[in-house]
Amino acid sequence: MTALLKLSGGIDAFTRWTGKRLAWLILVAVIISAINAIVRKTFDTSSNSWLELQWVLFSVVFLLCSPWTLLDNEHIRIDIFNTMMPKRIRNVIDVIGHLFFLMPLTIVMIVTGVPFFLRSFQINEQSGNAGGLPQWPAKSLIMIGFAMLLVQGISELIKRIAIIRGMIPDPHESQVSALEAEVEHLVEAIEQK
């Protein structure tokens, strides 16, 4: 199990490193969007490639940063029920969820995403919009993103099993969710007035 935990640590480091860098593409997409809007309104001209580039950049962030979301335990779950259960039950639910839902979904998406991408690449598929971008790079994001999510899911499964066995502490046990942190911040701001 020690070797698996080392592997998990390496996966986590790569996921965090990748996510922190790719998240900056949101800023790039916003800048492109602003420039495109200014050019369109000022000069009454535009290009579909700039609009499609915004979509691709958002897709990169959404698909390739989803493993980072899983790593930081910020993925969607039903918190109302989750917080009412004992920690051991939550850990078991996480193991079952990762093993029987997350892993199969990612495998199906990879298996179906590869031919989807390969066909697009083979024919050098282009956008149906005039002046649009090639489609195959965007389609490659599906298989890449879900492959990264599968690998991060394996890392999370390793850690959850180690936590259940008492081998490592739960890294998210004392974590305050983003929503809870925002509520605390708002309450503090209201109390200061």
User: Does the pLDDT of residue 56 top 70, yes or no?
Assistant: yes
Candidates 31, 32, 23; CA nearest to 53 is: 32
Helices (H), the chain: 2-22, 25-43, 48-64, 66-71, 79-84, 87-97, 103-122, 136-164, 178-192
Q: CB-hemisphere CA count at 13 Å for 149?
A: 27
165-175 confidence digits (pLDDT tens): 989 988 877 66
For 62-99, give one letter per residue: b (16+ CB within 10 A) or e. Answer: ebbbbbbbbbbeeeeeeeeeeeeeeeeebbeebbebbe
CB atoms within 10 A of CB 144: 16
- 132 vs 66 pLDDT, higher one: 66
- 84 vs 116 pLDDT, higher one: 116
How confident is residue 1, by pLDDT bands cut at 50, 70 and 90? confident
The phi and psi torsions of 171 (rounded to 5 degrees) equal: -70, -15
User: Does the pLDDT of residue 81 top 80, yes or no?
Assistant: no
174-191 confidence digits (pLDDT tens): 666 666 677 777 888 888
| Average pLDDT estimate for 13-24 | 97
| Average pLDDT estimate for 52-74 | 94
User: Does the pLDDT of residue 125 top 90, yes or no?
Assistant: yes
